[in-house]
Amino acid sequence: MIPYYVNWATTDRCNLSCLHCRGTESEELSTKEALNLVEDIVGLNPPYVTLDGGEPLMRADILDLLAGFSEGGMTTYLITNGTLLDEKLIGKISDLGVKLMISIDGATKNTYEMIRIGANFDQVLKNARDCGDRGALKAISMVIMKPNFKEILPMIELAKELGAEQVIFVGLKPPKEVNFESLLLTPDQYRESFSAIAHENGIETFVDEPFFKPVIEELGLSRDEKCLESGILSNQGGGCIFGKYMFIEPDGEVKPCTFAPMSFGSVKDKRLNEIWNDMMSSDFLKKIWDPSTRKGRCGSCVHKECMGCRSRTFALTGDWFETDPACPLGR
């Protein structure tokens, strides 16, 4: 088995302080170490790699890293807040065959700037439109939460207008600075959000939330909507993909999920394929992948493929196998 994809947080530095940010705190790899890692990721041959951070455009050598992936023939996506882009940089990134995913967590200036503290809505829209005009805008990403869920449909319209291929809606995980519950949708708000997304909206949408399918099934919406067939982030199996992809922290620690407080080793000490082999033979991951280990509502749930978000569950309950506290069907 190869990873569904590799997600590398290339730096912990960022020019914004978003309300919901999970944060990353570790010293980034040197250019030499980072280029070695590019080679290792290419060698592992996942279907694609996503680079984020922190803000990946804070790295002075980001174009060299992207060029390394390009030369290796790797499908590469850069996840960015979009604020540091300009026409020249967009041209260089797109000439390397890399596509951008720009995070815009609000369809109005007020909501966006309230969440993405330090960013300017008009500037980001201009930059996103420039990417769209070059055919380099893979997706707009929006984390769905209390302050912005009413803007899901306007966001879909905005993404179309900007020239994006997809809109990715991401489920909230515990933020670093702000209380999780203050941003978490109520069960009814989840239902309202998911049914808005599940309709044919004239653009591919993908929901990065394991209980999306269970909830829309409960609402009587079809599983065969266009929104379920696509997705840059892997939805193979439809549920939580803990340990089936790799997340690499800025300092090279390799984790089974962006949000998991555990590491399978550092790329400073081991080759990436060795770490992947260790992951694949891990008893802990085998337990995580086994639906019969689930407790509570997740344990008795009919949607076995969902599994609930394991990292969020652990962060909120201290137990890897409990019910996902965010799930509207489990509350």
Ligand X SMILES: C[S@@+](CC[C@H](N)C(=O)[O-])C[C@H]1O[C@@H](n2cnc3c(N)ncnc32)[C@H](O)[C@@H]1O
The CA-atom distances, in angstroms, between 93 and each of 36, 66, 75, 88, 296 are: 20, 8, 13, 9, 47
- Which 161-220 positions form the footprint of ligand SF4 (CB under 6 A)? 210-211, 214
Decide if residue 96 touches ligand SF4 (CB under 6 A). no
Considering beta carbons, is residue 67 or 170 the nearer one to ligand X? 170
Q: Report the residue from 46, 54, 106, 175 that binds ligand SF4 according to the rule CB under 6 A.
A: 54
Query: Cα–Cα distance between 21 and 11 in angstroms, integer?
Result: 14
CB of 295 to ligand SF4, least distance (A): 10
Rule CB under 6 A: say whether 20 interacts with ligand X.
Answer: yes
Residue 25, Cβ density class (10 Å: 0-12 exposed, 13-18 middle, ≥19 buried): exposed
d(Cα 190, Cα 160) in Å, to the nearest integer? 23
- The two structure tokens encoding residue 265: 């080793």
Q: Of 148 and 221, which CB lies nearer to ligand X in the complex structure?
A: 148
Rule CB under 6 A: is residue 306 a binding residue for ligand SF4? yes
Nearest-5° Cα angle at 107, 161 to 163: 20
Query: Which residue matches tokens 């290792």?
Result: 40
Residue 112 binds ligand SF4 (CB under 6 A): no
- When the beta carbons of 36 and 141 are compared against ligand X, the nearer one is 141
CA–CA dist 68, 36 (Å, integer): 10
**Residue 81 binds ligand X (CB under 6 A):** yes
Q: Which residues make up the interface to ligand X (CB under 6 A)? A: 14, 20-22, 52-53, 55, 79-81, 103, 141, 143, 170, 172-173, 175
Q: Which residues make up the interface to ligand SF4 (CB under 6 A)? A: 14, 16-18, 21, 53-55, 81, 210-211, 214, 297-298, 301, 303, 306, 308, 323-324, 327, 329-330
